[in-house]
Amino acid sequence: MTRYKAIVSYDGSQYGGWQKQLNTNSIQEEIEKALKTMHKHQVEIVASGRTDAKVHAIAQVFHFDSSMEVKEGHWERALNSLLPKDIRIQKVERVSDEFHARFDAISKRYDFLITNDVLNPFLENYMAKEHHTLDVSYMKDCATVFLGTHDFTSFTSNKIDPRKPREKTITRLDVIEEENCIRLVFEGTGFLRYMVRMISQTLIEAGKHRLTKEDIKQMLEMKDKHACRYKAAPQGLYLVKVNYKGE
Amino acid sequence: MTRYKAIVSYDGSQYGGWQKQLNTNSIQEEIEKALKTMHKHQVEIVASGRTDAKVHAIAQVFHFDSSMEVKEGHWERALNSLLPKDIRIQKVERVSDEFHARFDAISKRYDFLITNDVLNPFLENYMAKEHHTLDVSYMKDCATVFLGTHDFTSFTSNKIDPRKPREKTITRLDVIEEENCIRLVFEGTGFLRYMVRMISQTLIEAGKHRLTKEDIKQMLEMKDKHACRYKAAPQGLYLVKVNYKGE
């Protein structure tokens, strides 16, 4: 058996999320189906983490084990020929048997995109739409509140397992004005469920002057799962990169 | 009764085309459904022309008649609140009772987008994908063959009504290299069914050096409905603008 690390991009618009589940289609299921067609038996894949329904990935990472003999560069072609076009394998490479896509990830980057171009139908599945003009420099200022290591209980699903650690470190949170959107860039050691979307919507509210920097500081310090009632639209969210030691 | 001219953008990915038809959803049907909800009776709309399944529009034009009292700027909001998000009304304005969206159109612009970024899942519904690197300067040279007035019988559906005129004038056919795609810009007095897609694929074949400029000239001169067997993917095509006299 050889372990492989794979990088996959997907347009999440038509999926119920990464993880296999009843009653909805998932990215994981599609990839496992393609691997099963190749192997004639079930091949389980393990991702760096889940993404929610309608969330996209530029470079999600997963690993799997196989004893199939496939030439360098042929895994991608074989899998892509079996996968739906909105899921594209970018790269498959042999790794050490100890490599683990989830446990070995040391940091991740997520981007969140917001557009004012509300009448543009082509952005519907790819950005969060916002009617208001946002005060970007105030959003930049408020973003600094989240930098560093914090208990992010206030900015995650209130259904999260209470035994899981809520302490995470955000190393970068940039608010960048681009031609047709505002891009929020998050980098950190890990992110709790809904954390990026909840922080994103909080910053959008600040950009509309409906929240102050002081309000946001208080929300974070409360460490209360009911403190933040904001959550941005999933279609604005992209898993951009997963970083591993020694890369 | 007042006549209105409307401009609509749509992401055609999920539709069987502009025109109402059995067994598939259409842009026309969605807009007429929204107008019916507002009026409590059927309101027919007339477009500048059809677009095929999966083809997009930046600015399709249609007209309709209504005796409803709706304030300036409120038609857009009312219709958009009833329409699916991939169809967005950009503008509705009162026009003379004689205005006709199809008969009064004096020219149109269509763009066709081609990308080499074949592993990008986000472009799947929005550009034609091409594995080969295309010789853009040769494509530019070949594009000149189509400029001017020609009988385009060789570059249209072979099922087209034989009584319809096949003579059209192309006033612009630019091949433009952009950051992530090649954009073909077509402007002309009118386009036959499949004409833009058939010319686009012909230029792509030339860009791969599978057709010469001389081959293309001959195809055009044959005026034979079987002369061209090329037709580019619908998802690369955008109706960009419809021009009317006096604008």
**pLDDT at res. A108:** 98
Q: Please write the tens of the pLDDT for every residue from B110-145.
A: 999 999 999 999 999 999 999 999 999 999 999 999
Q: What is the mean pLDDT of chain B?
A: 96
Q: Please write the tens of the pLDDT for every residue from B8-40.
A: 999 999 999 999 988 899 999 999 999 999 999
Band of residue A131 on the pLDDT scale cut at 50, 70, 90: very high
Nearest CB to B88; choose among A85, A87, A119: A119
Quick check: B85 and A121 CB within 8 A? yes
Band of residue A102 on the pLDDT scale cut at 50, 70, 90: very high
Residues of B with CB under 8 A from a CB of A: 9-11, 56, 80, 85-90, 119-122, 124, 126
Give the mean model confidence (pLDDT) for residues A185-206: 97
Residues of A with CB under 8 A from a CB of B: 9-11, 56, 80, 85-90, 119-122, 124, 126
Closest-CA distance, A122 to chain B, in angstroms, reads: 6
Give the mean model confidence (pLDDT) for residues A171-182: 97
Tell which wins on pLDDT, B215 or B71.
B215
Which residues fall within 8 angstroms of residue B225, CB to CB, at 6 or more apart? B153, B154, B156, B157, B158, B160
> Least CA distance to A121: which residue of chain B?
B86
**pLDDT at res. A199:** 98
User: In whole angstroms, what is the distance from residue A144 CA to residue A64 CA?
Assistant: 38
The torsion angles phi and psi of B200, rounded to 5 degrees, stand at -60, -50
Quick check: B122 and A11 CB within 8 A? yes
**pLDDT at res. A158:** 81
**pLDDT at res. B22:** 84
pLDDT exceeds cutoff 80 at A94: yes
Percent of chain A clearing pLDDT 70 (strictly above): 100
Q: Please write the tens of the pLDDT for every residue from A146-171.
A: 999 999 999 998 887 778 889 999 99
DSSP state of A133: P
**pLDDT at res. B164:** 83
**pLDDT at res. A161:** 78
Give the mean model confidence (pLDDT) for residues A13-40: 95
User: In whole angstroms, what is the distance from residue A28 CA to residue A25 CA?
Assistant: 9
**pLDDT at res. B161:** 78
pLDDT exceeds cutoff 80 at A142: yes
Q: What is the mean pLDDT of chain A?
A: 96
β-pair type (A105-115, A128-129)? parallel
Catalytic residues of B: 52
Nearest CB to A88; choose among B80, B87, B121: B121
Tell which wins on pLDDT, B73 or B60.
B60
Tell me if the pTM is above 0.90. yes
**pLDDT at res. A22:** 84
Closest-CA distance, A94 to chain B, in angstroms, reads: 20
Catalytic residues of A: 52
Chain B residues with CB under 8 Å of A122 CB are: 9, 11, 56, 126
Band of residue B158 on the pLDDT scale cut at 50, 70, 90: confident
- Token pair belonging to B153: 């019988």
Q: Is B233 helix (H, G, I), strand (E, B) or coil?
A: coil
pLDDT exceeds cutoff 80 at B160: no
Q: Is B230 helix (H, G, I), strand (E, B) or coil?
A: coil
Give the mean model confidence (pLDDT) for residues A187-200: 96
Nearest CB to A9; choose among B10, B86, B121: B121
Dihedral-angle region of residue B238 (phi above 0 means left; psi in -120 to 50 means alpha; beta otherwise): beta
Chain B residues with CB under 8 Å of A55 CB are: none
pLDDT exceeds cutoff 90 at B162: no
Closest-CA distance, B224 to chain A, in angstroms, reads: 35
Quick check: B11 and A122 CB within 8 A? yes
The CA radius of gyration of chain B, in Å to the nearest whole number, is: 19
